[in-house]
Amino acid sequence: MNIGSKIKELRMENGLTQEELADRCELTKGFISQVEREMTSPSIATLYDILEALGTSLGEFFAEEDDEKIVFVNEDIFIKDDEDYNMKIHWIIPNAQKNEMEPILIELAPNGLSYKHTPHPGEEFGYVLEGEIELIHGKRKLSVKKGESFYYFPNKDHYIRNKSDNIAKVLWVSTPPSF
């Protein structure tokens, strides 16, 4: 572990200059600079003071980074083919239902439609990647074409359908997860 570069990263995350950090720790800017460039190492007591000024502890600082997955590839995608609705749902982020938002790719065949959702708290966003869909939000029926997006509060019954003869693909993000 490069202590200096990690201190610099924390300092920058906190929006501090080297001088501001030095002032908070009663150190010199030159010393902070040398630590960040790995030219010197602080004593445990000095490191403790620096980390306290940066809002962290020795334990958190030296804890191993978690291996949280951030990038997902095709092999991670789960696809549900629902022939009754003429649609495929691609869960592009595995286990997204446990998160605050759930992004999916929904593919609607001609005359396909998504599940009808009843009102719930949260927000919904969609971007039409291919084709054209009809968004039904309460009594409103809105046409959304390729390159257009939609955003609404799901406080009414809502769903989408494909009234065209071509496949429609929509990137849909829902909070909280609802698929």
Query: Tokens 């629902």 appear where?
Result: 82
Amino acid identity of residue 158, one-letter, is H
| Claim to verify: residue 109 and residue 30 sit in the same structural domain | no
Which strand ranges, in their side-by-side order, compose the sheet holding 140-145? 140-145, 132-137, 158-161
Residue 129 lies in a domain: yes
| Claim to verify: residue 86 and residue 167 sit in the same structural domain | yes
Give CA–CA dist 172/174, Å, rounded: 7
Total count of domains within the chain: 2
Q: pTM for the whole thing?
A: 0.64
Give CA–CA dist 106/80, Å, rounded: 10
How far apart, in Å, are the Cα atoms of 108 and each of 53, 87, 144, 160? 53, 4, 13, 9
pLDDT, tens digit only, all 179 positions of the chain: 789 999 999 999 999 999 999 999 999 999 999 999 999 999 999 999 999 999 999 988 988 766 678 899 999 999 999 999 999 999 999 887 778 889 999 999 999 999 999 999 999 999 999 999 999 999 999 999 999 999 999 999 999 999 899 999 999 999 988 77
pLDDT reported for residue 65: 67
